[in-house]
Structure 1
Amino acid sequence: METAIAFIIVFGSLVFFHELGHFIFAKRAGIMVREFAIGFGPKILGLTKGETLYTIRLLPLGGYVRMAGEDLDSVELQPGFRLAVLLNKDEKVEKIYLNQNKQLPDMLFLEVEKADLEKGLYIEGYDEDDRPVRYRVSRNAAIVENGKETLIAPYDRQFGSKSVGKRAMTIFAGPLFNFILAFFLFVILGFWQGVPTFEPVIKEVTDNSPAMAAGMENGDLVTAIDGEPIESWQELSAIIQENPGKKLTFEVLRNGDTFTMDITPKEVTQKKVTFGQIGVTYESPVEENPWKAIPYGAEQTITWIKEILRLLGMLVTGQFTIDALSGPVGIYKATEEVAKWGVASLMNWAAVLSINLGIMNLLPLPALDGGRLLFFGFEAVRGKPVDRQKEGMVHFVGIMLLMVLMIIVTWNDIQRFFF
């Protein structure tokens, strides 16, 4: 139960901030946001405030911001439609009733001949006495059908009406907010726990390991490998992992004296990925200086962005396969393990996941934010947008492929953890 709560809090926070980025920049651009949703599927909770419906949905595997002008958002009033309208004090239509049989005070019935609810904002037709009528439509008018109200979206409030720059920024803001969230989480950890120095100091040498065989001892400070200076544990770890089976020459500082030793990292394979280990553990010294928390947050964010991009590069070049990827089940199990180490470890894990979510969404693949940004790039170069039907078909195919990928990685997770 605790793991489920931790997973929902962590993953829910990442999704919330991602969608919050889209939401804020959509509002700044003047785009009508119809729904801000956390989760998919059936609605559990819903609250309408202003022109936006805020919902929590059953499946906590993502979220969305539904903007006016996207998908099948608009309602067209076709010639021959029978409808009723209510006018406001300015004699403009404020309510449009579809399938309305019940007569309400001041309600006017008509048969539509022509209507424009996006640019011209009018309805023309014939009243009950077959006389021609023309009504202006309020920008805040609502369509009422089967008791459900939906605000109309004038064209200038729709996503597609905005400049390429504003649309691109609205889409990019989701991943951007994931990076911002990670930055703030790392800053909080820096204030709370102190700022790690990341000095490459060996905490403990494991028995019967290559490091012990070479004479490495607890407390050794690694200063260079193969003549190249080492300034952080991350550098030390990366070199060891990238050189399984290759002899490396270490220079270490011990009690003021410098020692040189040759160590060959042993090959270790996990999740079909091979890397090197020499058999040492690490615990970074910390510096309790609140002024360093902010640069620490920035450094950690940049470091993890680089690391995740490096791993993506390894996936592209075939250095590890799709079997090494994890889906929701893998993230859930990892969260279960991390949660055992306390709130600070969970925050650090959330920050890394947030960066990962931001980068994954920026990949130039259909249906992802990066895929949409790619189409905006084409539009900027061509000077006109790509046909919406063609773009929609590309994104649909992308969604199908992503679903297949999700099924594959989820099945891999199930086999890995339960069989």
Structure 2
Amino acid sequence: MMEWTIHYIIMPLVVLSVVIFVHEMGHFLVARYYKARIPVFSVGFGREIMGYTDQYGTRWKLSVFPLGGYVSIDNQDASPVSQRAVIALAGPFANFLFAILVMMAVAMTYGAPKTPSYVVALNTGGGAYAAGMLPRDTILALDGQDIPYYTEDIKDIVAQAKGEVVTTDILRDGQKMTLSIPVRSMHKTGDFGEDNQQPMLGVVFAGNNLKLNAVNRVVDVDTEGKLSLARDELKKYLGQNIVINFGKGRDREDFVTYIDPELNKAWFNPQSTKYNSLILWDDVNVQFLPIPFQEAVTDAFELAYDACKKTLGVFYQIIVGKKDTGDLGGVVAISSMTGEVTEQAKFIGAYFIFKFIAILSVNIGFVNLLPLPMFDGGHLLFHAIEAIRGRPPSLKVKGYVYGVSIMFILLLSLIVTGRDIWERVGG
């Protein structure tokens, strides 16, 4: 119980508090640069748990509800609109900068994680399955190019095949074999819901595990939304290759995978943190290889860009009706993901904890740029209106917009949190 509390309660609070602190520190430093008086710097809302007052009269405090934070700035409305805009922008900017610096530091300390080119599942409509590849095969080479780890090189080689056959060397049960795999154009939904057709082998590599609530069907039994039933059905096939269906919407597809009895012992222990997961591979096989500084910088910026793109894509698809609010993650989701990442860290070090912190920081920075009054983006919108009109919106207009925004955020939070809880305890 103590271990669960550390992983799923204490660590999420620490991670969230760090990211919030960074965000508010961005506001604070710029406000201090402009010589503004700052009475309060708070991580969290509500009653103060602990704090102190510095020589400038700022009360630094940790409050009881660590689901946000604020920096109180005196007489801010009297300052130039450009100054207020820079202060508002500083919080999200701090989150982006922090994420990039964290990933650069992690890359230079740990290197890049490399998972083996080990096959955990095969799309039944893919060329690899048609050519006879099986779960637990390891790909050694593609068209004569060695593939010791899963890398983007695999996608490049497949793309260059242009619908032809890829000669694939594999290792199966200690024996080397060669397969001729036809490259097929397969569906993949893009970040904004667009229908992409890409040349693929139809292989799922190590590095992917599943939540049981993502399993829609086990062999011929419908398990969608029935977490306990999915677990019970999978137990029947321990030690066998079977067909399961997983994915959402247009991405639902059938895959052949091996149900490993050793990796899924948690199904017989309701107290295990992996009780509701389908474990497809053993993450102790992850290796870290050193990478040059320039690559570390590039990877850090790419991570920030990808996180922003995916977050924007989710909001866009919700607005146009391609996704529902279940694809947003609330406090429960953050807690669950942090706990799972902390569990991983026991075996492969702190790399994924730091990566998760970086992604969360980017997401919080991005969400705060949304043009809603409760967020920095809302303040920036009001500042832009003031700069254009020469005067700020009236208090009546601000009050109306704030009221509608608060109701929207509360309703969305209730829906998202309710979905989070149902997905983790339902079924």
* TM-score bracket for the superposition, by shorter chain length: 0.5 to 0.7
| Residue number in structure 1 paired with 2:306 | 303
**Structure-1 separation of matches of 2:111 and 2:388:** 48
* Superposition deviation, residue 165 in structure 1: 1.7
For the pair 1:214 / 2:214, whether they are aligned, the reply is no
1:272–1:321 Cα contact (<8 Å) kept: no
Change (3 A) 1:208 1:410: closer
Superposed CA offset, 1:119-178 (max 9, x none)? xxxxxxxxxxxxxxxxxxxxxxxxxxxxxxxxxxxxxxx211222221111011111111
Instruction: State the Cα distance separating 1:334 from its structure 2 match.
Output: 1.6
Which residues in structure 2 correspond to 1:5-404 (within 5 Å)? 5-49=10-54, 50-68=56-74, 158-195=75-112, 202-206=117-121, 209-211=124-126, 212-215=128-131, 218-219=138-139, 232=152, 249=163, 252=166, 254=168, 260-262=182-184, 273-275=249-251, 287-291=289-293, 292-342=295-345, 343-404=350-411
Tell me the secondary structure at the aligned position of residue 299 of structure 2: helix
The offset of 1:346, in angstroms, is 1.4
Q: 1:5 to 1:285 in 2, by over 3 A?
A: closer
Match of 2:175 in 1: none
Aligned residues of 2:119 and 2:138 also touching (Cα < 8 A)? yes
Deviations 1:74-127 (A, max 9, x none): xxxxxxxxxxxxxxxxxxxxxxxxxxxxxxxxxxxxxxxxxxxxxxxxxxxxxx
Q: Is the 8 A contact 2:314 2:328 kept in 1?
A: no
The structure number with the bigger radius of gyration is 1
**Equivalent pair of 1:29/1:162 in contact (CA under 8 Å):** no
Contact 1:19 1:65 in 2 (8 A): yes
For residues 123 and 337 of structure 2, the distance between their equivalents in structure 1, rounded to whole angstroms, comes to: 28
SS in 2 for 1:44: strand
Deviation of the 1:357 alpha carbon: 0.8
Separation in 1 of the partners of 2:400 and 2:96?
30
How far apart, in 1, do the equivalents of 2:40 and 2:319 lie?
36
Does the CA-based 8 Å contact 2:307-2:359 persist in structure 1? Answer: yes
Gaps of 5+ in 2: 144-150, 170-177, 188-201, 203-213, 217-245, 258-279
Flag the 1:328–1:222 CA change in 2: closer, same or farther, 3 A: farther
Give the Cα separation in 2 of the matches to 1:220 and 1:366.
Answer: 54
Deviation at residue 222 of structure 1 after TM alignment: 7.2
Q: Deviations over 1:308-354 (max 9, x none)?
A: 22222222222111132221012111211111100221111111111
Offset at residue 220 of structure 1 (A): 6.2
Tell which deviates more after alignment, 56-65 or 268-277: 268-277
- Structure 1 residues 274 and 6: CA distance shift in structure 2, 3 A: farther
Q: Secondary structure at the match of 1:340?
A: helix
Q: How far is the alpha carbon of 1:39 from its aligned partner?
A: 0.8
What code does the residue aligned with 2:129 have? A
Tell me by how many angstroms 1:375 deviates.
Answer: 1.1
Q: Which amino acid aligns with 1:204?
A: V
Task: From the superposition, tell whether residues 378 and 413 of structure 1 become closer, same or farther in structure 2 (CA, over 3 Å).
Answer: same
Deviation, 1:22, is 0.8
CA contact (8 A) 1:195 1:296 kept: no
How many residue pairs match? The answer is: 311
Do the aligned partners of residues 383 and 344 (structure 1) sit closer, same or farther apart at CA in structure 2, a change above 3 Å counting?
Answer: same
Change (3 A) 1:305 1:21: same
Q: 3-state SS of the aligned residue for 2:182?
A: strand
Percent of residue pairs identical: 28
Equivalent residue letter for 1:380: A
Letter in 1 for 2:168: R
Equivalent residues of 1:220, 1:252 under 8 A apart:
no
2:411 & 2:400 partners in 1: Cα distance? Answer: 17
* Offset at residue 259 of structure 1 (A): 5.0
Pairwise CA distance, 1:268: 7.5
Aligned to 2:194: none
State TM-score, norm by structure 2. 0.64
TM-score w.r.t. the length of structure 1 is 0.65
Higher strand share: 1
CA distance in 1, matches of 2:247, 2:180: 38
User: Offset at 1:202?
Assistant: 4.2
Superposition RMSD in Å:
3.4
Q: Which amino acid aligns with 2:305?
A: I
Measure how far apart 1:307 and its partner are: 2.4
SS at match of 2:368: helix
Cα distance in structure 1, aligned partners of 2:154 and 2:31: 39
Q: Report the alpha carbon displacement of residue 264 of structure 1 after superposing the two structures with TM.
A: 5.1
Any unmatched runs of 5+ in structure 1? 69-157, 224-230, 240-247
Letter in 1 for 2:12: F
- Paired with 1:307 and 1:222, the residues of 2 have a C-alpha distance of 30
In 2, distance between residues paired with 1:160 and 1:2? Answer: 43
